[in-house]
């Protein structure tokens, strides 16, 4: 079973900062990796699929990269609305990473 490990667990940053979130797979998933954003009281929202493709309506400040076992979600300049939880998900069994919380410093 493929396991996804996200780091860090918490990222404390200020608006305007660059955020770099990591997701590592226990074995290769190719580019079959998605990223979701979840805010309190809301359902998750798809941000990135196939490692680097932005979903419809997702702002350009969100970008994804990586392949194989190492993936990165980058938020180029944090907006107040971006402080939330972020999860990666892979294809083989739909499991998620444990999440990264991006909080205001």
Partner 1 sequence: QVQLVQSGAEVKKPGASVKVSCRASGYTFTDYYIHWVRRAPGQGLEWMGWINPNNGGSDFAQKFQGRVTMTRDTSISTAYMELSRLGSDDTALYYCARLPSRRYYYDSWGQGTMVTVSS
- Minimal distance, residue 16 CB to partner 1, in Å: 27
By three-state DSSP, how is residue 82 classified? helix
CA dist., res. 80 & res. 22, Å (int): 21
Q: How far is CA 56 from CA 7, 48, 74, 91, in A?
A: 26, 9, 17, 20
- Using CB under 8 A as the binding rule, whether residue 89 contacts partner 1 is answered as yes
Residue with Cβ nearer partner 1 (18 or 95): 95
- What is the contact mask toward partner 1 in residues 41 to 70, using x (rule: CB under 8 A)? --xxxx--x-----x---------------
CA dist., res. 37 & res. 18, Å (int): 16
Residue with Cβ nearer partner 1 (38 or 67): 38
Residue numbers 6-25 binding partner 1 by CB under 8 A = none
CA dist., res. 11 & res. 82, Å (int): 12
| Contacts with partner 1, residue ranges (CB under 8 A) | 32, 34, 36, 38, 43-46, 49, 55, 85, 87, 89-91, 93-99
């Amino acid at each position: 079973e493929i396991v996804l490990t996200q780091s860090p667990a918490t990222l404390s940053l200020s608006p305007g900062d660059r955020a770099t979130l990591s997701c590592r797979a226990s074995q290769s998933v190719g580019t079959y990796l998605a990223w979701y954003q979840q805010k309190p009281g809301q359902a998750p929202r798809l941000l990135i699929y196939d490692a680097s493709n932005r979903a419809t309506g997702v702002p350009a400040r969100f970008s994804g990269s990586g392949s194989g076992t190492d993936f990165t979600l980058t938020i180029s300049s944090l907006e107040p609305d971006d402080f939330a939880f972020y999860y990666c998900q892979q294809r083989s069994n739909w499991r998620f990473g444990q999440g990264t919380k991006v909080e205001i410093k």
